[in-house]
């Protein structure tokens, strides 16, 4: 009798798990279908309003001068033996000084850290990487090449190639996700962790599933699962949607922020108008659902989390929730009026807060600037 009850219990547990998995993927594919329908309506409306320009966009052939600004650093390349991939990075500051490694988000590239490269090169060897699939780094064609474990290993390989075994790691958006994961899996290689507008991956997963408002804000995650169509929608009307991410009232840099200049915007259009550039960036999203939830969560490094109060994509409540996974000092700074594009929006405040964390930075208070 006991054996029968045990088998029945195990069957019930297994059935419950399968139902949860089925529900999870049903939610994902259902939301993908909904987002596709909305995108098709937007495309149809664009064709009606601008029939002659909707499908016009151009590859920028020449990089703007700001991408070759010598005050930002030297352009370098490294080919990692294990993966076979070539990575592009911009480096400044004296070799031998502590390494500060910057990881960008979507849709960005090394240039998003220009204000920080100038600021921290006096005391650090600063390196801003084009992550795989971005900028002048290699763009693997397979979606599976953008799994979390590969992205984390890229960071390890780059740190070691640069001749270091530890670094101050700084990440924003997708770069923030990889920075969290790197700190989880290689705690001995992270002196201090600095993350901008990106929650701990487990916080994001738990919060989004419990809060429909965040799920709605993250609808692009589902839309980006589709092949080719997201690339088209980001390209039409000469990359209007891409420009809007940085400049629109709802998602762009705030009125008090440091707006992108026309040349800055051309730098982004140069990077993402190149063949395959949008696909490489979007492939990060096309692996995310199969990579969560995480099997490990604890972060043992001191952590500074900077958060723009006006982030249009991520709800602020997730910032404080990150505390539960951090086994060291945790400092959270919420910056009033700042957008998701924090290091470009409010570079002076961001740089000051980073300096404070680097010099003194062991605290557990939440500050509002």
Q: What is the rounded average pLDDT of the residues 148-152?
A: 96
Q: Which residue has the higher pLDDT, 41 or 80?
A: 80
When the pLDDT of each residue in the chain is averaged and rounded to a whole number, the result is 89
Residue 16's pLDDT is what?
Answer: 61
Residue 294's pLDDT is what?
Answer: 77
Residue 20's pLDDT is what?
Answer: 58
- Of 358, 8, 290, the closest CA to residue 146 belongs to 290
pLDDT at 369 over 60: no
Residue 10's pLDDT is what?
Answer: 56
**Residues annotated as catalytic (active site), given as ranges:** 173, 285, 340
Per-residue pLDDT reduced to its tens digit, 332-357: 999 999 999 999 999 999 999 999 99
Question: Band of the pLDDT at 69, cuts 50, 70, 90?
Answer: very high
pLDDT at 173 over 90: yes
The domain spans of the chain are: 1-54, 65-208+287-359
Please name the fold of domain 65-208+287-359: Rossmann fold (3.40.50)
Question: Band of the pLDDT at 296, cuts 50, 70, 90?
Answer: confident
Q: Which residue has the higher pLDDT, 247 or 295?
A: 247
């Amino acid at each position: 009798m006991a054996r029968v009850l045990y088998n029945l219990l195990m069957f019930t547990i297994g059935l419950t798990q399968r139902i949860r998995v089925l529900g999870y993927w049903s939610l994902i594919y259902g939301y993908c279908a909904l987002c596709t329908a909305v995108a098709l309506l937007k495309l149809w409306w664009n064709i009606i309003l601008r029939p002659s320009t909707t499908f016009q966009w151009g590859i920028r052939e020449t990089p703007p001068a700001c991408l070759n600004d010598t005050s930002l650093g030297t352009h370098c390349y490294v080919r990692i033996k294990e993966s076979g991939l070539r990575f592009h990075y911009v480096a400044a500051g004296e070799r031998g000084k502590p390494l500060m490694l910057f990881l960008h988000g979507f849709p960005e590239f090394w240039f998003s850290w220009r204000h920080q490269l100038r600021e921290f090169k006096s005391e650090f060897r600063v390196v801003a990487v084009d992550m795989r699939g971005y900028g002048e780094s290699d763009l693997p064609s397979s979606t599976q090449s953008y799994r979390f474990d590969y992205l984390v290993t890229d960071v390890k390989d780059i740190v070691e190639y640069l001749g270091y075994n530890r670094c101050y790691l700084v990440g924003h958006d997708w770069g923030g996700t990889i920075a969290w994961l790197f700190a989880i899996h290689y705690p001995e290689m992270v002196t201090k962790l600095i993350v901008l507008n990106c929650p701990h991956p487990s916080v994001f997963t738990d919060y989004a599933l419990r809060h429909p408002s965040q799920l709605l804000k993250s609808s692009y995650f589902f839309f980006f699962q589709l092949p080719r169509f997201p690339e088209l929608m980001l390209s039409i009307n000469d990359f209007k949607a891409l420009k809007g991410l940085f400049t629109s009232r709802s998602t762009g840099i705030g009125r008090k922020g440091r707006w992108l200049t026309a040349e800055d915007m051309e730098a982004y259009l140069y990077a993402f108008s190149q063949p395959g550039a949008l696909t490489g960036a979007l492939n990060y999203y096309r692996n995310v659902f199969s990579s969560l939830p995480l099997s490990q969560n604890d972060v043992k490094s001191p952590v500074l989390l900077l958060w723009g109060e006006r982030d249009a994509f991520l709800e602020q409540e997730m910032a404080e929730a990150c505390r539960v996974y951090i086994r060291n000092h945790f400092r959270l700074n919420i910056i009033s009026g700042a957008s998701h594009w924090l290091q470009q929006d409010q570079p002076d405040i961001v740089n000051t807060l980073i300096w404070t964390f680097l010099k003194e930075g062991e605290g557990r208070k939440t500050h509002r600037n």
